[in-house]
Amino acid sequence: MRCWWFRMSERELPPGWVTTTFGEIAESIQYGLTTSAKDKPIGPKFLRITDIQDRRVNWRSVPYCECTDEEHRKYRLQPGDIVFARTGATTGKSYLIINCPDVVFASYLIRVRLDKLLEPRYFALFMDSPTYWSHIMIVRKGSAQPGVNATILAGLPIPLPPLPEQHRIVAEIEKQLTRLDAGVAALRRAGANVRRYKAAVLKVACEGRLVRQDAADEPASLLLERILAERRARWEAEQIAKGKDPKKLKYKEPAAPDREGLPELAEGWVWAAVEQLGEVRLGRQRSPRHHSGEFMRPYLRAANATWDGVDLSDVKEMNFPPEIFETYRLQKDDILVAEASGSASEVGKPFIWQEQIPDCCFQNTLIRVRLMDLPPQYLYLHFLKDAITGRFGEVAKGVGIHHLGAERLAMLPVTVPPLDEQQRIVAEVERRLSVVEGLEASIEANLKRAERLRQAVLKRAFAGELVPQDPSDEPADVLLERVRVERERSDN
């Protein structure tokens, strides 16, 4: 099967090379099995798109499935198979099966089983190259839905060198990428150490062990008493303004945290539930009927929460009529927390809102904490610590999607230092983390540089510029003819 939409010119190829397609060189191109994943080992392993991460598969975490003997034979993977993600955000991602347990593959994957005369590692490496990905992106944009079906995959153009050169290319790529991968691994270890240091700084800060205590500081217990009294006074004033009888008002005091199991705190510190310090509210639920209307306003969602603060590069709009606008309108110094994530380690990423966008609201994938006459910086650092150390992830509930929940956050115990000490803690944490941010930026820049080097190696390889050509090699068109003859013989 020849590719008609963008065929590589034979004149661009080195001597002895030809352009082919998966349709010409594959024994089979097949969709995967439609079934459900199971946690218990009741059948073979069940490989899905999500099990392929960072060009690897952790076979121990791959689930199982039930299937018939016929399905087992039809969908079982073997060394040399290449699986290809055919739909969604990961369309085009691929993985070469080298060693694997008894495993079948899921329906959102396509298996390419190459002719045995070919070197599968060459084609797997090609499917990680800039040339391949530029083709995939063109195909995806030209499709009605983001995805690539088996017919399109079969027509994908592939530069084919002679078989001995395939082996030389694979050996040279693996040699160069092995060194590069070692450097990347060292960078990732350094990044992990930086993250551990960051978590350690935040932990000791929130335990009263980062800066000195000062006996002259007003105890946090008095600060908490004032906050609670002011909270009650505001509530009563609001009720009276609504025409309620002051004598019949029944105020519900925010519950203090359960102290059982909580450690002792530094002198002058207290434990408090988040709801004692201010209002905790979940954002407005997004619905198709709110996508248009007379009162369209910008709103934030969990996608805007990052480890580095708020990301305003993609802010959407929703209809917020006047009767609910004030309920969901953000104010300066509001703390926003990511309510849910598919990964427990991503739950609870916080940021402080500084009114970068006027009259901005928030969606129910965020929780807003509006403090009562209290600067937000210390509690933000506390939330950042809870997110980084996994405390929020432990509190979150749910299968697949981990939800922190406004009620659980409201009842969460947090440490409260004296107000003056909060200011000293914030200043010291900011000083230390400014150094950390510089290290993180350097590590991230070098990781990106390593990825560019990887792509440069692959680009040169599949342009025929990485290893020398050998005139004595059997030309690729002869190899391709042998593959064709072998396939015809098998079909007959």
- Mean pLDDT for the stretch of residues 168-187: 97
- Residue 6 clears pLDDT 50, i.e. is over it: no
Starting at the earlier edge strand, list the strands of the sheet with 26-31: 26-31, 109-114, 82-85, 94-96
Categorize the per-residue pLDDT at 142 as very low, low, confident or very high, splitting at 50, 70 and 90: low
Provide the 8-state DSSP code for 262.
P
User: Rounded distance, CA 45 to CA 100, Å?
Assistant: 10
Whole-prediction pTM:
0.77
The amino acid at 440: E
User: Rounded distance, CA 300 to CA 29, Å?
Assistant: 43
- Residue 337 clears pLDDT 90, i.e. is over it: yes
Q: What average pLDDT is seen over the chain?
A: 93
Categorize the per-residue pLDDT at 344 as very low, low, confident or very high, splitting at 50, 70 and 90: confident
- Residue 57 clears pLDDT 90, i.e. is over it: yes
User: How do residues 101-131 score in pLDDT, each as one tens digit?
Assistant: 999 999 999 999 999 999 999 999 999 999 9
Which of 354, 301, 362 has the alpha carbon at shortest distance from 331? Answer: 354
Cβ neighbours of residue 316 closer than 8 Å, sequence gap 6 or more: 298, 299, 301
- Mean pLDDT for the stretch of residues 456-480: 96
User: Rounded distance, CA 231 to CA 370, Å?
Assistant: 12
Residue 479, H or E segment: helix 476-491
**What DSSP string runs through 71-109?**
HHHHHB--TT-EEEE-BSTTTT-EEE-SS--SEEEBTTE
Q: Is 390:347 a contact under the CB 8 Å cutoff?
A: no
**What's the start-to-end Cα distance of the chain, in Å?**
19
- Mean pLDDT for the stretch of residues 259-264: 92
Domains and CATH numbers, the chain: 10-162 (3.90.220.20), 218-417 (3.90.220.20)
Beta bridge partners of 83: 95, 111
Q: Which tokens in the block code for residue 100? A: 């694997």
User: Rounded distance, CA 310 to CA 300, Å?
Assistant: 9
User: How do residues 19-55 score in pLDDT, each as one tens digit?
Assistant: 999 999 999 999 999 999 999 999 999 999 999 988 8
The per-residue pLDDT for 8 is: 45
User: How do residues 395-443 score in pLDDT, each as one tens digit?
Assistant: 999 877 899 999 999 999 999 999 999 999 999 999 999 999 999 999 9
Question: 3-state DSSP call for residue 63?
Answer: coil
Which of 110, 105, 111, 108 has the alpha carbon at shortest distance from 44? Answer: 105
The per-residue pLDDT for 144 is: 53
- Residue 9 clears pLDDT 90, i.e. is over it: no
Query: Count of alpha carbons within 13 Å of 206, Cβ hemisphere only?
Result: 22
- Mean pLDDT for the stretch of residues 308-327: 96
Q: Determine phi and psi for 20, rounding to 5 degrees.
A: -130, -170
- Residue 385 clears pLDDT 50, i.e. is over it: yes
User: Rounded distance, CA 335 to CA 466, Å?
Assistant: 53
Judging by beta carbons within 10 Å of its beta carbon (0-12, 13-18, 19+), is residue 161 exposed, middle or buried? buried
Q: Is 112:82 a contact under the CB 8 Å cutoff?
A: yes
Q: Which tokens in the block code for residue 487? A: 């396939």
User: Rounded distance, CA 15 to CA 161, Å?
Assistant: 9
Residue found under tokens 């349709």: 23
- Mean pLDDT for the stretch of residues 233-260: 91
Q: Is 332:356 a contact under the CB 8 Å cutoff?
A: no
Q: CB neighbours (10 Å) of residue 240?
A: 12
- Residue 3 clears pLDDT 50, i.e. is over it: no
Q: Is 256:305 a contact under the CB 8 Å cutoff?
A: no
Which of 468, 1, 443, 467 has the alpha carbon at shortest distance from 193? Answer: 443
